[in-house]
Amino acid sequence: MQSLDPSSAAAETANRAAALLVQIEEDVVQCRACPRLVEWRERVGQQKRAAYRDQQYWARPVPGFGDPEARLLVLGLAPAAHGANRTGRMFTGDRSGDWLYRALWRAGYASQESSTSRDDGLSLEGAWITAPVKCAPVANKPTPDERDNCQPFLEAEFAALNSLRVIVALGGFAHGAVCRHFGLRPRPKFEHGREVPLGNGMTLLCSFHVSQQNTFTGRLTEPMLDAIFSRARELEASDE
């Protein structure tokens, strides 16, 4: 019996992952499971912020974005009302995204250092960005039921991204989502820079969120964020 060429097997696996992620994106974008979030995201898209009054808001659930063969997963909280809810791509079009994509660019994961729209040419290599909640939440605080309604999408992303080695959790909400997914008991305390082995060569790496509350106050600095992604590079290469 002829053995399968490793390169062919890898290409087949990558194609399967890409197809699964496309299907997940389609399912995410069509979701209307949470009436409160549906009403809010659409109302924001109608009322708009003055600076974006001439733009068409996405105003739908926002799917994950990146490389289907990602070894790094960056997990946030949810789309920003006038950021990803406007542009349709995670961490795109707001100041949190400015910080994140600059750091990813410096670490070699992003093709450019800024992200303004879905069609601005930015691509990710070796990284995938998503959130546990796919709709912009009211007051940036999803309810437990809204979080749980979205959980199957995140579970599906984890299943499709079979090359993952490092998960960077941006903030306590993302940290909690990872702990629930992997059934971590007792739950490890969230601390910036903390590393938690997840088994199968995977590591959870914690970081303060790139929210303006953290970046404006200096709780999170650009060197601190760069150190997170430098460490992610080391961890994702450690099994090679």
Tens-digit pLDDT profile for residues 178-202: 999 999 999 999 999 999 999 999 9
The tens digit of pLDDT for each residue in 28-58 reads 999 999 999 999 999 999 999 999 999 999 9
Instruction: Decide: 144 and 175 in contact? Cβ < 8 Å.
Output: no
The Cα-based distances of 163 to 5, 20, 153 in angstroms read 19, 14, 18
Q: Which of 116, 219, 203, 125 is nearest to 164 (CA)?
A: 203
The pLDDT mean for the chain works out to: 95
Q: Which CATH number fits the domain 6-237, given the four candidates 1.10.274.10, 3.40.50.300, 3.40.470.10, 3.20.170.30?
A: 3.40.470.10
The tens digit of pLDDT for each residue in 103-129 reads 999 999 999 999 999 999 999 999 999
| Tokens 């914690």 found at | 206
Domain ranges for the chain: 6-237
Residue 66 region by backbone torsions, left for phi larger than 0, else alpha for psi between -120 and 50, else beta: left
Instruction: Decide: 97 and 115 in contact? Cβ < 8 Å.
Output: yes
**Over 90: is that where the pLDDT of 95 sits?**
yes
Q: Exposed/middle/buried for 30, CB within 10 Å: 0-12, 13-18, 19+? A: exposed
